Structure 1
Amino acid sequence: MGEKYTKTTFILEILGILIAILFLIPFYFVLVNSVKSFSAILIDAAALPKEILFSNFTKVWDIINFPKVFWNSLIITVCSNIGLVIISSMAAWKMVRTPGKFNKILFIFFVSAMVIPFQTVMIPLMKLGGMLGITNSIPGLIMMYFGFGVPLSLFLYHGFVKTVPLEIEESARIDGCSQFGVFWRIVFPLLKPITVTVVILNTLWIWNDFLLPLLVLQDPELRTIPLATSSFFAQYTKQWDMGLAALVLGITPIIIFFLFLQKHIIKGIAAGSIK
């Protein structure tokens, strides 16, 4: 028999719906005002549009050269994710399978790095980047994302690798599999649930990041979507109609990405809870 539907369950459902509506209000304002004229936004930002202006999107597409900034964001996000997954998964596996004082201390350093605010290291980072000649370049920005993203990714992988049975790896070695073969053929496929989680978390962070690209990328041709969108919100002028349309264009790919991986997210959570 199923659980009895009680008054408490009904109240919790209503509360959940109200909280969901509260979180959806900002999306409503962005979507509704992205198809209004600037004057209509100033008159009543909460009202539904009397005239839908899809021309806002076409203007923004040309003004910020959306295909170019989209490609820059895509390259940075994809390459950073690939590097973070490879580096973090291999490092976590090595630390777990070769326990020792050095690896424990190293792991503590990585975990400690997670609590250091970016603002405390951004000036030394820019000085070091200038000395190495990696500023104002997409590869240089990707390298910096490696440094800032590895601690959390390694922490997540480190906990998940412990759930992989050691006997599987030993059997593979007996069959003549090399160390790299054991990891890539045996261990890494078993890390799929946590890999999906790592990719999602890093994608949301890197795609929407504003401060680090602002500091590193000075060339307008290297701008990411957040940097291009910020051009509509200057100190003395704010083009809300163009800016909100640019926001919609910027968040649409990440929403599609999230919906595409939704099935894998649920599987990952279920697998993690069972383990």
Structure 2
Amino acid sequence: MLTVLSLIWIIPLLFILINSFKGKFYISDSPFSIPTGKAFAGLTNYATGLGLSGFLRAIGWSLFVTVGSVAVIVMLTAMTAYYITRVKTWWTTLLYYLFAFSMVAPFQLVMFPTVKVADALGLATPWGMIVLYLGFGGGLSVFLFAGFVKSIPVDIEEAAFMDGCSPLQSYFQVVMPLLRPTAVTVAILNAMWVWNDFLLPNLVIGQDERYKTIPIVIQSLIGSNGNRDMGAQMAMLVLAIIPIVAFYLFGQRHIIEGVAAGAVKG
């Protein structure tokens, strides 16, 4: 059963890969055929996409937003989860449930207020996008980190204090290394989300030609009259998928460890 399900998910990726080497006039006629003869376009689609769409600049902005967002999310949510777990007051409990509630509220509910606030605060830039992603990704990240922090014995930190560690030294030298599996999980989940996200960048910075990310550039290959270069689109999708798939395969073994540690042990 799992083999069949995995094939269902893999088939669309193979469809994109096959059609990225096919001439654009042959994709609609025979989308599932292997490109041979006149249908085989070689690397022409890749060259067309890279030359016309500003794809290379979009890769730079996508990397900047993704790496910056993931780094900020991991660093700040880990510290937040540690504080609200170790400091037991009514308002830290309230703060924890507010983070949990943020996972329930759909993005469409806050979509237009977010755009208005982003414009008012000058966040319609790649730097501002990092702040927005921190807000939207904080809920799940705090939830996972808090669950794992609860499983860390307080005795370890007390021993560090007895050895002369300050609270910051205890956190960075004792607690943070123990949070590594959850931190990797949070980084992978948020990296896949930010890298592939289309809606938020399109709403906030989509009209600014300087800051377009990869999903927006791929969407821009569709002409104003609905005309599209399907071959170039498929080629750019392949290039967009490769980095995030490689990152996922590199850290996939940490996902189950981190999710189990953050959601079960707590």
Category of TM-score, reference length = shorter chain: over 0.9
Question: Which residue matches 2:24?
Answer: 38
Per-residue CA deviation, residues 134-168 of structure 1 (Å, 9 max, x unaligned), is 22x11111111111111110011010101111111
Give secondary structure in 1 for the equivalent of 2:46: helix
Question: Which residue matches 2:228?
Answer: 238
Alpha-carbon distance in 1 for matches of 2:198, 2:263? 34
Residue of 76, 83, 91 corresponding to 2:80:
91
Question: Which residue matches 1:9?
Answer: none
Alpha-carbon distance in 2 for matches of 1:214, 1:208? 12
CA contact (8 A) 1:69 1:228 kept: yes
Most deviating of 185-194 and 117-126:
117-126
Cα distance 1:249–1:183, how it changes in 2: closer, same or farther (>3 A)? same
Residue of 19, 26, 35 corresponding to 2:12:
26
Residue of 214, 224, 232 corresponding to 2:213:
224
Per-residue CA deviation, residues 41-83 of structure 1 (Å, 9 max, x unaligned), is 1221010001242111111112122221111000100110111
1:185-200 matches, cutoff 5 A: 185-200=173-188
1:141-180 matches, cutoff 5 A: 141-180=129-168
Q: Report the Cα offset of residue 203 of structure 1.
A: 0.5
Residue of 54, 67, 91 corresponding to 1:78:
67
Alpha-carbon distance in 2 for matches of 1:231, 1:219? 12
Q: Report the Cα offset of residue 274 of structure 1.
A: 9.3
CA contact (8 A) 1:77 1:206 kept: yes
Give secondary structure in 1 for the equivalent of 2:226: coil
The question of 1:116 aligning with 2:116 is answered: no
* TM-score normalised by the chain length of structure 2: 0.92
The question of 1:215 aligning with 2:203 is answered: yes
The question of 1:17 aligning with 2:3 is answered: yes
Alpha-carbon distance in 1 for matches of 2:3, 2:86? 46
Counterpart of 2:240, as a letter, is G
* Structure 1 segments unaligned to the other structure (5+ residues): 1-14
Alpha-carbon distance in 2 for matches of 1:121, 1:19? 34
Alpha-carbon distance in 1 for matches of 2:3, 2:231? 30
Per-residue CA deviation, residues 234-273 of structure 1 (Å, 9 max, x unaligned), is 4521221111111001111111111222344465468679
The question of 1:48 aligning with 2:34 is answered: yes
* Structure 2 segments unaligned to the other structure (5+ residues): none
The question of 1:257 aligning with 2:247 is answered: yes
Alpha-carbon distance in 2 for matches of 1:18, 1:176? 57
Question: Which residue matches 1:6?
Answer: none
Question: Which residue matches 1:3?
Answer: none
**Count, aligned residues:** 260
Alpha-carbon distance in 2 for matches of 1:249, 1:133? 31
Give secondary structure in 2 for the equivalent of 1:164: coil
CA contact (8 A) 1:193 1:272 kept: no
Report the structure number with the largest CA radius of gyration: 1
Residue of 58, 71, 74 corresponding to 1:69:
58
* TM-score normalised by the chain length of structure 1: 0.89
Per-residue CA deviation, residues 184-204 of structure 1 (Å, 9 max, x unaligned), is 110000000111110011001
Counterpart of 2:238, as a letter, is V
Percent of aligned pairs with the same amino acid: 39
Counterpart of 2:88, as a letter, is P
Cα distance 1:99–1:167, how it changes in 2: closer, same or farther (>3 A)? same
